[in-house]
Structures are given as C-alpha cells and as structure tokens.
C-alpha cells in the first residue's frame, strides 16, 4: 500500500479547519448570532446591512417627526386661539356698526379691538422650544410688531415666507409650518392679513369712518385663515399617520434583522459537538504518529 506523502500536512490542514469551526460555533452559541462577520454568511451579512440602513432611516425620521408633531400641535392650538379672538373682534365690530354709538361707546369698541389685536400679536409671536413658529425660517426672530405711529397702524413682519417641511422615508414632503405673513399680514405672502384688517377697523372706529367694509374684510380673513388651518391640519394628520406606520415598520425590521442573523442554539450545539469529536479524532491521529510534538510537523 502506497503511503500518502502529504498525510501529515493534510491532517494539519483538517485540524486547523476543525479548530476554527469549534471557535466559530462557540462564539455563535455565546452571542446568539450566527453572522459575526461577512465570511460567516455573505448573503445574510449583505441583507443585514440593508435592513440595518432602513432601520436607521426610520429611527431618524421618527425622532424628527416627534418634535415636529409637537411644534405642529402647538401651531394648531395657536391658530384655534386666533380664530376665537377673530370671532370676538367680528362680534365687537358688528355691534359697533349699528349707527347708534356715541363717542364713549366708540372709544370702548376701539379699546376692545386694540386688546384683541394685542392678544393676536402675542399669539403670532408664539414659539416652540425657543423657535418662533410663525417666522418662516427665521426661528430666532420675533415675528411681528405693530407700528402705531402711522394711521392706520402698520404691521411689521420680521420673518420670511419660507415654509418648513419634512421628508418621509418614502420621499414624500409634508409642510410643517405656516409663514406668518400668510395669516397675519405684513409681508409679500399676505393672504388673510388678520392684523392689517384689525388695524383698519381700529382706525375706522377711532376716526368715525364706516367700519362695515373692514368688518366684512375681517370675515374674509377669518375664512382664509380657516382654510390655511385646514390644510395644515391635513399635513399634521398625514405626518402622524406616517410616523405611526414607520414606528411599526421599524419594529418589524428589527425583528426581521434578528431572525436573519440569529443562531439556532440546538443546531449550533450539534455542530459544535460534531466538530469537537472531529478535533479529538484528528488529535488522536497526530498523537499516534512517530512525532512527539505537533510542532515537529511544522519544521
């Protein structure tokens, strides 16, 4: 029978491989993960990388969405308060248009409208976590001031017409803020012009001019504000829906990731046991040779 001249070398190669398997299976049992490196399972490792990236994208979005939803809810509550103030202003102005008011009555109407205007200016300058919610992208600015040196008074807007937005994981864009000049006036984006119309009403009653037209204009501003608010509420509801879906998806992806790389304890234990038996057998073969030390084979 012909002897294999590479017997010792081949046995050593086999022993090294088996010892590597023992180490791998031991690590998998300890960590509970079957993929600890790309070489363990290139396909699973690649899929794990994709899933991990999707989880990261979802986590970043939900974190941003949380604070954004808070700001939008404060914005909506503020707009609701503005609507309430405008209804009071319309009622006051309507009562003042009956043609029977004396000078003292008109002065009272002016005082009431000025108080309402002050309240609305305060609301228009609301902030969330230190950021002015109606100043567009100028978060550090005090959005509105009133210059009473003119007649009627002038609305000064210190923000810009930039509407903030958020991008969902699917690439959709949702508007998350309303530039103040679209509601309160004082800028190029004026539509509702709430403060501008209030200034005109105050001037009407102060000078004895008919306020009927400006009262109607305030109704129009209220309707325009309500329309803007409805669109904003729709964006808020969409954001909340996407956020909820994304959170659910994130949990599902994490579960899928865990299943993708999770070790099967029973199978791994069996593989380890078999590898240890092979290792013991190869060690016996080496020990039964004429060599006294395994390192002799490497010389």
Domain ranges of the chain: 51-254
> Whole-angstrom Cα distance, residue 130 to residue 293?
75
Q: Is the dihedral of CA 106, 107, 108, 111 positive or negative?
A: positive
Using CA atoms of 251, 252, 255, 259 in order, give the dihedral in degrees to the nearest 10. Answer: -160
Helix (H/G/I), strand (E/B), else coil: 208 = coil
Q: Which CATH class is domain 51-254?
A: mainly alpha
In the block, residue with structure tokens 């490792």: 45
Ordered per-residue pLDDT tens for the chain, 299 residues = 455 555 667 666 766 776 766 666 676 656 555 555 545 556 666 777 787 788 888 888 888 888 899 999 999 999 999 999 999 999 999 999 987 888 899 999 999 999 999 999 999 999 999 999 999 999 999 999 999 999 999 999 999 999 999 999 888 999 999 999 999 987 654 567 999 999 999 999 999 899 999 999 999 999 999 999 999 999 999 999 999 988 888 888 877 766 665 555 666 667 667 767 677 766 776 666 645 455 554 54
pLDDT of residue 101: 82
Angle at 146 between CA 144 and CA 147, to 5 degrees: 135
Residues with Cβ < 8 Å from 86, sequence gap 6 or more?
A: 116, 120, 194, 218, 221, 222, 225
Rg of the chain taking only CA atoms, in angstroms: 37
Which tens digit of pLDDT belongs to each residue from 145-156? 999 999 999 999
């Amino acid at each position: 029978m012909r002897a294999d001249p590479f017997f010792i070398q081949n046995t050593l190669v086999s022993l090294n491989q088996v010892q590597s398997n023992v180490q791998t299976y031991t690590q998998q049992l300890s960590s509970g993960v079957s993929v600890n490196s790309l070489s363990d399972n290139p396909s699973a490792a690649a899929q794990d990388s994709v899933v991990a990236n999707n989880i990261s994208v979802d986590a970043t979005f939900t974190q941003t969405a949380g604070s954004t939803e808070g700001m939008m809810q404060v914005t909506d509550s503020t707009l609701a308060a503005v609507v309430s103030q405008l209804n009071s202003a319309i009622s006051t102005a309507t009562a003042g248009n009956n043609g029977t008011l004396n000078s003292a009555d008109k002065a009272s109407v002016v005082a009431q409208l000025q108080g309402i205007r002050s309240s609305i200016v305060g609301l228009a300058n609301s902030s969330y976590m230190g950021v002015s919610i109606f100043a567009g992208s100028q978060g550090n600015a005090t959005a509105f001031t009133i210059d009473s040196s003119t007649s009627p008074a002038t609305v000064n807007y210190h923000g810009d017409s930039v509407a903030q937005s958020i991008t969902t994981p699917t690439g959709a864009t949702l508007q998350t803020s309303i530039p103040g000049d679209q509601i309160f006036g004082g800028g190029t984006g004026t539509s509702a012009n709430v403060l501008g119309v209030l200034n005109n009403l105050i001037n009407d009653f102060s000078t004895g001019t008919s306020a009927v037209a400006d009262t109607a204009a305030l109704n129009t501003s209220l309707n325009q504000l309500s329309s803007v608010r409805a669109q904003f509420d729709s964006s808020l509801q969409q954001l909340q829906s996407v956020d909820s879906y994304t959170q659910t998806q994130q949990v599902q992806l994490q579960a899928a990731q865990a299943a993708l790389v999770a070790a099967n304890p029973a199978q791994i234990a069996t593989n380890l046991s078999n590898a240890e038996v092979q290792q013991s057998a190869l060690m016996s073969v080496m020990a039964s040779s004429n060599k006294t030390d395994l390192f002799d084979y490497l010389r």
